[in-house]
Structure 1
Amino acid sequence: MSGESARSLAKGSAPPGPVPEGLIRVYSMRFCPFAQRTRLVLKAKGIEWRVTEDCQILDYQNTTFFGGDHISMIDYLLWPWFERLDVYGIADCVNHTPTLRLWIAAMKQDPTVCALLIDKNIFLGFLNLYFQNNPNAFDFGLIC
């Protein structure tokens, strides 16, 4: 299936299989603005692609991380959005996805992730100033 109408993988779905020659596989979620940018450029350039929705990949693969049994670049790429769920007050949006919750817990154990976690209160302070158009927002929480 080309373009934006692919369905997400679910438990028991057939694996996506190899990408036919001449196509690009885009791992996406149709509401993700960053994946949408990729799809827009591919469409504008007339490049054929096939979408595989990534919301169910962990269930399908039966692994802890998106790249397998160990953290990989895809996990680090996705992590910042999940780190911010609580800050934006939408952490409960993953309540119905036990495998994703396990991934989040595993990511919070990673030394690299732990070293760069942003304290929720500091992030909220930043957002408060940012939405007030305060130029000090970007330095909020820094100790000088």
Structure 2
Amino acid sequence: MSTQKSFAKGSAAPGPVPKDTIRLYSMRFCPFAQRARLVLNAKGIKHEIINIHLQDKPDWFFEKNHLGLVPTLETSAGEVVYESPITCEYLDEVYPEKKLLPSSPFAKAQQKMMLECFSKITPYFYKIPTGKKNGEDVSGLEAELIEKFAKLNEELVRKKTKFFGGDSITMIDYMMWPFFERLEVVDLKHCLGNTPELKKWIERMLEDPAVKASGHSVETYKAFYKTYADGKPDYDYRL
């Protein structure tokens, strides 16, 4: 877990990445950056974290990644990789100990297809809270999300496994997890509805050491998201 305050516009660029270390440009509360942190922790990869102030990004960060997005990886050779699924697959390939993606091309394709489907769910985590804040009727969106969670539950029932890739945690679980970690924070826990297997999956994920090392308490998330909703996000909350 990084305790370093975020780098903002005008800050000096960090020095070269140390040998035998990989650098992650992150933001402590970003679910996409958390994916990379989960993989780094799960695989025990030696790394350092540089937090970026996402509303006031330093100019030097755009030289690393012209999109200015986190997560972004940088190697000691100066190689840069970004976009959360790509950074995570890269880490799994470059550090082959404790593989998180299956070796079978078909099983790997299945995980990627599932992630593509899950990417259609993530917008609900923004649309519903924003709609509520604006006084809109979000019951239709909530009904859609309940249906999507029910399908995820059916997937676990069909597979008869503890996790989405089998009986141990694999890449797809880590790719999905950051959003479930925020369910209560964005007041969407009720959308789980009648999904006993999905709820068991959530309980199992909460016991995982990489999950414990990469996330925050509900109270901390809520405090940060309040500053975000007020238009003055405190990226260094509690540091």
TM value normalised by structure 2: 0.38
Q: Which amino acid aligns with 2:113?
A: V
Deviations 1:46-72 (A, max 9, x none): xxxxxxx96222111000000100000
3-state SS of the aligned residue for 2:194?
coil
1:140 aligns with 2:237: yes
Contact (CA 8 Å) 2:163, 2:169: kept in 1 or not?
yes
Q: State the partner residue of 1:91.
A: 189
Give the gaps of 5 or more residues in structure 1.
1-18, 20-24, 35-52
| TM-aligned CA distance change 1:73 to 1:29, over 3 Å | closer
Q: State the partner residue of 1:26.
A: 113
Q: State the partner residue of 1:61.
A: 159
1:109 aligns with 2:109: no
1:74 aligns with 2:155: no
Q: State the partner residue of 1:121.
A: 219
3-state SS of the aligned residue for 2:235?
helix
Deviations 1:78-120 (A, max 9, x none): 0001000011111122131000000000001111111222111
C-alpha distance in structure 1 between counterparts of 2:209 and 2:193, whole Å: 25
Q: How many residues align?
A: 100
Say what the alpha-carbon RMSD is for the aligned residues: 2.4
Written as runs of structure 1 = structure 2, the 5 A alignment for 1:1-16 is: none
Which sits farther off after the overlay, 107-116 or 74-83?
A: 107-116
Contact (CA 8 Å) 2:122, 2:179: kept in 1 or not?
no
Give the gaps of 5 or more residues in structure 2.
1-105, 107-111, 124-149
C-alpha distance in structure 1 between counterparts of 2:202 and 2:122, whole Å: 21
TM value normalised by structure 1: 0.61
| TM-aligned CA distance change 1:74 to 1:126, over 3 Å | same
C-alpha distance in structure 2 between counterparts of 1:119 and 1:66, whole Å: 24
C-alpha distance in structure 2 between counterparts of 1:29 and 1:138, whole Å: 27
